[in-house]
Structure 1
């Protein structure tokens, strides 16, 4: 099967597709740092480093197998944590039309679309319904729903809205395997090195032996891995961390240490949340801005710790400034979830003899 990745970001969906055995030939991404990350990890894929609105069509080469076109338009406008622009007027909420334009142009046998679950609430589900209606109007049979990455073995409770469309079969969503138990946060990151607030040394040795089969699989045979960068928070912010227990948030901070009342109006339960080590993580989104706190150390998460919670292998290298690396990790679809979706697509396609 041939793959095309739109709005590719750092390549989480491409990684999931590649792990399923899909030949991802072309990707489109406009952000310079994300392009560097994508090229570093997927050197055999042709990357179109441009705004998708400037792409007329995509040449996948010889179509010696069915094509799956996949991607997730930027989702800030649909996120439940972004109430200011969660409406029809946000131009980013209309980028899914560019996805549909590419579907019309490429005419893939399969389509996989992903986004935040909040798309189902935006304008009472208007965007999600419009997207499905337009795909159906092109002749695609559809399956859609919300999948939680933790149900597929990811150490993070992260829900994504998935639409699978097919011109050649009746698709369905993958069913979470009953035998899979989500690793805890400590299963996932407990072997990584101890770090300080503002850590800047990218390449380090591991802190201990892997604490789980999950961590062992992501480490592979590496002795060193990259990504041990931590945002430097002001001493006044770090002083607040010490008052927050695992599972706690900004409300545990003594009054005198809190921001002024005006600043607290933008707070929600995810701000200053200290992660729980013996459970799967909460969503790793914009983990720097939310100031998610390491479960046992008074600092934010490193890029590698967040990548582990997203199910990226340790060999996966993120490029650009620390802020851009954090953004790439936080925006990604967990590759372990992507692989489950693409495994399902391949299984149905192979039943048809690949046609």
Structure 2
């Protein structure tokens, strides 16, 4: 490569954790980055623009928001060649676990295929795709549609797996509804005409349905909001799929207008309301299935639910088959732990590395070898943030200003990296603590969480048993943290202080150095950090990719400055 930097495109770049790892090698130049979150893109621009000055041509990075609108072929032509692509597309896949939601197919699913489109059109020498561990599971799947036939069945030969999708629960009109839906498929009916027009109205009555215990109070409040809808109730549907359903809809109006509520009328209201909402869920999901051209095998009802039989294919099966068809060699072992590469955090992620066969021949592609293998040698929370313990964080974003860091005579290798060359600290801002939260903070020891609280401290939660173990977690100085998500939403507590951890402390756990400054609102900054790939993990992956592309000299290796 003769010291010429590799040209890279960063997809779903977020704040820039993965790309920072690549840039730290000094061997990579980013020519374009795609990110639809405005605050994350501001963070990316602020921190990555400084690397532009190290480029021979000094050209600025091109930024895009909507990946679906990016002309990758033009991007490739402008740069003659793109060597690397990296990024982590969001992907929920399909799961019956999400059947309570009105939407069945996440719009994020298509973003995985947009990532694939980028690889296909840019044809880089190597790529890195980062994602959640769950993506490797066959439960993480796509619904098979008519437009998939050429690529999935004929070109890639992927096996289709029968699956049953739950649309909604049984109700008194189930047999009629199933017959209607089967007939609608044959007649190619547009189901949207049978769905409630006013989304606000649907949201309101759904909320009422969840408030049965406080029915009288809540309906009285809701009536003011529903006045307009109640006055033109019959026009809330363009069409009724059955006379029986129409009668229930009109009966619901009468019950909502009623001035007096007896136990029997209240029971009638919630019985009818529940049925209408379940029917609407079923119609909305079937409409979504038809709109996405999902192949329907059958519609049926079991002892509890109305279901549709479809065919599916695994997200990972698709990705591996597709990338191999594009002449990439892919790593077999795909789970990596950030703690093995210097992060004070036990964070497992899925990493796909693809390298063109022309570079590796009959050889294999593997993940980078762990630098720190023994759990007893993992960096811990204390080693990453203890020097900030006596610096009181700001609580108001407007007050955030550079503050002097305490001088240290000795630093462990991780802390030396985190502190960098700057003597000032930014983003040392935390969420404000309510009195209720503060009382919980005071009784929790290091390593304890919400479930260790006495029952008296849990009364503000409607269902305390369902609270995750990461909520109200007081970090333990002597161990790595768990996976950093949004530390504000999780209410993570400082190991020794009765306060939330700050944005900067969360950033350090993710191995962002202090000179990396986050932009946006407080919650956005916490979220950007939680969404990011730890830069040290990104750097380890970058070094592995560079090795496959024939670049092993000319830069300091991660191992040399992170080993104790």
Q: Same fold (TM over 0.5)?
A: yes
Structure 1, unaligned runs of 5 or more: none
**Residue in structure 2 matching 1:227, options 427, 435, 438:** 427
Q: Is the 8 A contact 1:117 1:159 kept in 2?
A: yes
Normalising by structure 1, we get a TM-score of 0.90
The aligned residue for residue 290 of structure 1 is 490
**Residue in structure 2 matching 1:174, options 359, 368, 372:** 368
Q: Is the 8 A contact 1:31 1:49 kept in 2?
A: no
Structure 2: how far apart are the matches of 1:296 and 1:5? 38
Q: Are positions 1:154 and 2:343 aligned together?
A: yes
Root-mean-square deviation (CA), in Å? 2.6
Q: Are positions 1:96 and 2:296 aligned together?
A: no
Q: Post-superposition shift, 1:129?
A: 2.2
Greater share of helix: 2
Q: Are positions 1:206 and 2:212 aligned together?
A: no
Structure 1 segment 236-315 matched on structure 2, within 5 A: 236-260=436-460, 262-315=462-515
Q: Greater CA deviation, 169-178 or 226-235?
A: 169-178
**Residue in structure 1 matching 2:65, options 41, 50, 60:** 50
The aligned residue for residue 22 of structure 1 is 28
Q: Secondary structure at the match of 1:102?
A: helix
Q: Greater CA deviation, 8-17 or 248-257?
A: 248-257
Q: Secondary structure at the match of 1:242?
A: helix
Q: Post-superposition shift, 1:267?
A: 0.5
Q: Secondary structure at the match of 2:387?
A: coil
Structure 1 segment 117-132 matched on structure 2, within 5 A: 117-121=133-137, 123=139, 126-132=314-320
Q: Secondary structure at the match of 2:330?
A: strand
**CA shift digits 1:300-330 (9 cap, x unpaired):** 2111101111111100010011111111111
Larger Rg: 2
Q: Is the 8 A contact 1:155 1:188 kept in 2?
A: yes
Q: Are positions 1:165 and 2:349 aligned together?
A: no
Q: Post-superposition shift, 1:238?
A: 1.5
Q: Is the 8 A contact 1:8 1:27 kept in 2?
A: yes
The 1:351–1:173 alpha-carbon spacing in structure 2 relative to 1, beyond 3 Å, is same
Q: Post-superposition shift, 1:124?
A: 5.1
Q: Are positions 1:190 and 2:196 aligned together?
A: no
Structure 2: how far apart are the matches of 1:13 and 1:341? 9
Q: Is the 8 A contact 1:185 1:278 kept in 2?
A: yes
Q: Greater CA deviation, 109-118 or 41-50?
A: 41-50
The 1:88–1:73 alpha-carbon spacing in structure 2 relative to 1, beyond 3 Å, is farther
**Residue in structure 2 matching 1:11, options 12, 16, 24:** 16
Q: Secondary structure at the match of 2:129?
A: strand
Structure 2: how far apart are the matches of 1:96 and 1:12? 19
Normalising by structure 2, we get a TM-score of 0.58
Instruction: Flag as ranges the 4+ runs of structure 1 deviating above 3 A.
Output: 60-64, 83-88, 178-181, 196-201
**CA shift digits 1:278-301 (9 cap, x unpaired):** 111111112111111111111221
Aligned residues between the structures: 348
Structure 2: how far apart are the matches of 1:84 and 1:288? 25
Structure 1: how far apart are the matches of 2:85 and 2:127? 5
Structure 1: how far apart are the matches of 2:79 and 2:42? 27
Q: Is the 8 A contact 1:37 1:318 kept in 2?
A: yes
Q: Secondary structure at the match of 2:493?
A: coil
The 1:340–1:326 alpha-carbon spacing in structure 2 relative to 1, beyond 3 Å, is same
Q: Is the 8 A contact 1:12 1:333 kept in 2?
A: yes
Q: Is the 8 A contact 1:29 1:47 kept in 2?
A: no
Q: Are positions 1:39 and 2:45 aligned together?
A: yes
Structure 2, unaligned runs of 5 or more: 1-5, 53-59, 142-313, 554-564
Q: Is the 8 A contact 1:6 1:99 kept in 2?
A: yes
Q: Are positions 1:142 and 2:330 aligned together?
A: yes
